[in-house]
Homo-oligomer: A and B are copies of this chain.
């Protein structure tokens, strides 16, 4: 690659940029909505990238050697799709389906298109995910591909962007290039820092990046910047490009009020007159070299830990044990944790497989983004922190589902049963949050053997898979040979004379068993179901209980009453004909403080004692 461009190159870049602008206008006008002006500002930047720097095999999007191009400013999707057209990947006809029902060309990029790694459109996410892909490239694949992330200046206000800056330099990701399309104008006026490109450069440098400030419409400067970026050694590069929103059309350039607005037919006609544009040209994109990802050790048979039940074991400990075992069996397993690995027990994996463990410090958004990035490269990421702190990354989890990512999350220290640390550390909404993620799986084991088996299940399960673990040690009630599956449950107590069904999971299952004993001694028998698969729930077993025991249920959970195990149970009955059973929900109803786990569970009304009372009222 020479850094002095030829006239031919400049002509090609010009042709392509103009085509990208024209197509961005045409497809949004056809759609009647969309973001042409946000596309036009970055057209020159992308024209040079596509034709002179990007290495990508459009015929084989899964080629491990491909560069990754992520539009962190996802609203510039018209530009991205116009690039795909220019590369010959989609037809002009398809381009004109933008934003129409059934089209692959959604309002914001989504991986329904094979060249889109991840969904963007919630600002400040594509870039951190790019960090994850770059981590995989540098440390796992060990391939020379680059990750190019196009950023908007509005999204520089998102904290997640700075988590990404921090992590990228910490991990010396010289395979990552951020391209900041600094067009000054956000949705409703000037952005926080307008055209202060020096400010962005200074911040990037303070965060350990190399920063290059350019005129984003000057091909020479763009070309030089990319040339420098790919020579980077030991640090990532941010190209801060001063650009003009709506560049190329006089009545759009640097004008407020044109964000997210398509031109009407007349405006389109007028605009196209201003842009010298011949026809739909195809611009060849360089294919990457054909290298192999770094060899991995062979997969081995999984040897899960087992627990003999002689002593209580925290499910979080079993998570760590099992993750380490998975790591031995499968070299694709990757560990991530938010600076609490000695609490979540991810440290066991970290110590055993330091090459596949990436410390994420206290940056939960970046952690989930890194997991999504790993998923793009077909790794099997397990990311952990306190369950409460996954709330920090909910937008990332939501978007991971839109990205059809395959990530595994483990949240420890759930519920009031953590005790003395108090409510800031207690996850009491995580089940609600994780159930309300498209296609998610939510697991909540109660003992160590069950946890180990379910961790193994997680590795084999697609989508967003969440496990909730418990801080306290709990008795081991299952043998190491017992099987547990996503969508399963266990009936742990039953008889012909059951009067009420108690549904519990995790820590409350042990309360239910204590309640069973107490009720038994008073001549009342209950069925106890361990609903460890909160989503999907084992409908068959629940409905069978309704039939066999009668329509009386108590559901008990260490969670707010909304959206958790209780609501999941109720939902089962909406899938049947006929009325629902009587259900009593026991859940945390008041704001907890500090105390011992037992004190707090008692106060919350979810201890054995409360289950006994609830059953007695129902059994009358």
**A238 to B451 alpha-carbon distance, docked (Å):** 45
Q: Which of B160, B422, B425, B433 contacts A436 (CB 8 A)?
A: B433
Is A307 on the interface with B (CB-CB < 8 A)? no
Is A423 on the interface with B (CB-CB < 8 A)? yes
Is A524 on the interface with B (CB-CB < 8 A)? no
A159 — which chain B residues lie within 8 A by C-beta? 158-163, 363, 365-366
Q: Which 9 A/B pairs are nearest by Cβ-Cβ distance?
A: A159-B159, A121-B424, A101-B595, A580-B580, A563-B563, A432-B436, A107-B422, A206-B206, A429-B436
With known contacts A570-B570, A594-B106, A599-B101, A339–B157 Cβ distance under 8 A: yes
B594 with A101: CB separation less than 8 A: yes
B110 with A423: CB separation less than 8 A: yes
Q: Which residue of B lies closest to A588 (CB)?
A: B438
Interface window among A62-70, A390-398, A496-504, A506-514: A390-398
**A192 to B208 alpha-carbon distance, docked (Å):** 13
With known contacts A389-B395, A398-B391, A563-B563, A583–B585 Cβ distance under 8 A: no
Interface window among A17-25, A183-191, A288-296: A183-191
Is A401 on the interface with B (CB-CB < 8 A)? yes
With known contacts A119-B424, A429-B437, A433-B394, A593–B101 Cβ distance under 8 A: yes
Counted per complex, copies of this chain come to 2
Q: C-beta contact mask, A339-354 vs B, less than 8 Å → 1, else 0?
A: 1111100010000000
Q: Which residue of B lies closest to A399 (CB)?
A: B424
A574 with B563: CB separation less than 8 A: no
B582 with A361: CB separation less than 8 A: no
B579 with A571: CB separation less than 8 A: no
Q: Which residue of B lies closest to A403 (CB)?
A: B424
Q: Quick one: which of A102, A103, A570 has the most chain B CB within 10 A? A: A570
- Report A76 CB to chain B, min CB distance, Å: 13
Q: Quick one: which of A191, A340, A347, A591 has the most chain B CB within 10 A? A: A591
B567 with A158: CB separation less than 8 A: no
Q: C-beta contact mask, A427-439 vs B, less than 8 Å → 1, else 0?
A: 0110011011111
A582 — which chain B residues lie within 8 A by C-beta? 577-580
What would 18 more interface pairs be, CB under 8 Å, given A124-B362, A154-B339, A394-B394? A102-B595, A106-B593, A108-B425, A112-B593, A122-B425, A157-B166, A157-B339, A157-B362, A158-B362, A159-B163, A202-B206, A401-B591, A432-B563, A433-B433, A436-B564, A562-B563, A571-B585, A578-B582
Q: Which residue of B lies closest to A553 (CB)?
A: B574
A105 — which chain B residues lie within 8 A by C-beta? 594
